[in-house]
Amino acid sequence: MSVDECRLIDLPRVTDDRGSLTVIEGGRHVPFEIKRVFYLYDVPGGAARGGHAHRALHQVLIAMSGSFTVTVDDGGRRKKFRLNRSYYGLYMPPLIWREIDDFSSGSVCLAVVSDFFDESDYFRDYDEFLTRVRGGR
């Protein structure tokens, strides 16, 4: 996988005088079936989240409120995305290391993912991740 496969997805918006609505459908708006949704909130100033990669899981992150920065890393290159709109999602395929930081006050990060929680799907050690993506097992 490559950081080039990480991309912003423009989610559909329906807007009228009463406000706006955005919908997310698995296989239609995100390139996978949605099996789990979770969100990060009340992240203390200066704290970072993420710091891991997945072996098989696909994920989309959305700034539901506020803003934050996501750094993606494929073991060779890094790329930063600033998320600050609730109608943009950042798609990340498997084997991409991610770090989330620079949370604004009151920010909420929604994660839409392709599978149920499974600890064995995580790379939590960066060196182990590098070994895997650079050809080692």
pLDDT tens by residue, the chain, 137 residues: 799 999 999 999 999 999 999 999 998 999 999 999 999 999 887 788 889 999 999 999 999 999 999 999 999 999 999 999 999 999 999 999 999 999 999 999 999 999 999 999 999 999 999 999 988 65
Structure pTM? Answer: 0.91
Instruction: Please return the burial class of 67, using the count of CB atoms within 10 Å of its CB with bins 0-12, 13-18 and 19+.
Output: middle
Is 54 labeled as catalytic in the residue annotation? no
Query: What pLDDT is attached to residue 136?
Result: 60
Instruction: For residues 135 and 132, give the distance between their C-alpha atoms in angstroms, rounded to a whole number.
Output: 6
The CATH number of the domain covering residues in 3-133: 2.60.120.10
Query: What pLDDT is attached to residue 135?
Result: 84
CA atoms within 13 A on the CB side of 69: 9
Handedness of CA 39, 44, 46, 47 (dihedral sign): negative
* 29, 52, 54, 58: the active-site residue: 52
